[in-house]
Structure 1
């Protein structure tokens, strides 16, 4: 199998992000961590992913600073994977994907999990991209200033 091209030095921020978290297993591991999972076995049971793939993704996520690895907090010989500040910064990305999916990939009335605010129990409001003065922006209201390599 051909090795994929690294995007670590690409001038596009989206490309660099996808180089780190751009496969489904990595994002699903991060999603499960936001749901409180910390151990290899918990991730494996939730995802049903092959052990070697899970081990590879967790290794990469630790290497990239998304997770830290530490001995289990209960004193057992297991490792726990804890989101770092860098990993916690992915929360809006996971929420954005969730909200896009709810709007685009589910039929009206189709059941799905719901993200709720812990204190009130109410659904989280839809994310919006705002201008510096607070106006809601659409894609056509923006442009990318590209740099020349």
Structure 2
């Protein structure tokens, strides 16, 4: 997927974020790392993506500081991809996409994966933007302030 090369820097945080992680493969790689995958071959089997595309997306995620490489934990000559703190901070984004998909892209009763809290084995609560007082905010109750 060709990347945009804007003449002037984007002032919108959403646009900048999409430029870094906004294609299908990048987000699915990040999802797979959250799910415990770390090796090129595992990503390729999970995603069914061509090697050249997978190599490109992994390189871009490393260059963006979202993933880093380390020697394989089993002592083999392979390398593994792990999330950096910057990458780990994408967790709420992945959860929000998951929850939106669960609500809008599956028929009632249709089976899908479920994200649960490891401690209590319960599904995690639905994420929603909140005001300072804890009340859920609707889009009409917010505005973008240009600085």
TM-score range, shorter chain: over 0.9
Displacement of 1:12: 0.3
1:42-121 superposed matches below 5 A: 42-121=42-121
For the structure 1 residues 65 and 4, does the alpha-carbon distance in structure 2 shift closer, same or farther, using more than 3 Å as the test? closer
Query: Which stretches in structure 2 are left out of the alignment for 5+ residues?
Result: none
In structure 2, the partner of 1:12 is 12
Q: What's the Cα RMSD here?
A: 1.5
Contact 1:99 1:126 in 2 (8 A): yes
Segments ≥4 residues shifted beyond 4 Å: none
1:29-40 superposed matches below 5 A: 29-40=29-40
Contact 1:6 1:19 in 2 (8 A): no
Query: Which stretches in structure 1 are left out of the alignment for 5+ residues?
Result: none
Count matched residues.
Answer: 146
In structure 2, the partner of 1:132 is 132
TM-score, normalised to structure 2, is: 0.95
In structure 1, the partner of 2:143 is 143
| CA–CA distance in structure 2, aligned partners of residues 84 and 126 of structure 1 | 25
**Could you report, residue by residue, the CA deviation over 1:67-123 in whole angstroms, capped at 9, with x for unpaired residues?**
001111111110100000000000000000000001011111111000011111110
| CA–CA distance in structure 1, aligned partners of residues 141 and 66 of structure 2 | 32
TM-score, normalised to structure 1, is: 0.94
| CA–CA distance in structure 2, aligned partners of residues 51 and 107 of structure 1 | 33
Contact 2:3 2:19 in 1 (8 A): no
